Structure 1
Amino acid sequence: MSADSSLPNSSLPAPRFQLTPQEWRAKLDPEEYAVLREAATERPFVGEYTDTKTPGVYTCKACDAELFRSTEKFDSHCGWPSFFDPANSDAVILKPDDSMGMRRVEVVCANCHSHLGHVFEGEGYATPTDQRYCINSIALKHAPESSDSK
């Protein structure tokens, strides 16, 4: 995994897209704000994209940056959308998360530093990376592939 647990959070590059907390609250509804800006987690099996199979691109709900593609989405049956790789290696930042009494790796949008979910590895899924990017549906927008882009 590419997260360097020796780096303090302050060493993250500055987000390219920045708003004040008041601007974020005006842009996002309260549930979106809780997940994207305060690192909350939506309940499992309730998200809009948990079972979506429609081809397309998943972007950040906060800033519209491309994060994942449907070609990397897989059925993990964990209750949240799962991807085995981001669309671009620079699309997300992985950072240590020691909350909840355990060591995890948080996934944040590289463009705006919004919380997306967590990445896990070594769970035995038959994917090319053996990683599961477990992402909150509420943190994403899905743009279906148009018929003229095929």
Structure 2
Amino acid sequence: MERTSSSDPEAEARGDRVLEHLHHSLQLLASPAQAQLSHFPAGWVVLTDEMALDFNHWAQCLSTYWEPSNTQTVQLKKLDDFLSAMSGSLHSAFWTDEALSSDPRWEEVRMLAKTALLSFGWTIAVPPPAQQEHGMLVDNGSYILSSHDTGSCSNTTTKERF
């Protein structure tokens, strides 16, 4: 994977954080159900939505700072396409906490996330859990103020996930 050309040190730092957050989001999607269920404090987010939204956000941000290989792009797209195919009212049961342990489609998500991790040469490990700090949820350096605050790929305020 190549970095997109930039002479801005701040953009390079943001690009590094994008990779870190993408790695983290893939690790969480690849984790066993129990690790996923205990990742966020109860009541802060809709877990399944948060995992999918977080991955989608960082996967979209990647091309702002990096030129992933064809293999990496294909693996990210496979995971994104699978999660997108599960959207809508026909698949509402897929987006429950209970489904993480009982729905075989979540095993497919885990396998796709592991394959994506390997395409980047990243470890398959359970990420550290998010923590509540000063009225915010901090997840791997990302500040989460609400479950649908996706932030931006280019700025770095505390409302965003950089």
TM-score above 0.5: no
Tell me the TM-score normalised to structure 2 length: 0.25
Tell me the TM-score normalised to structure 1 length: 0.26
* Structure with the bigger percentage of strand: 1
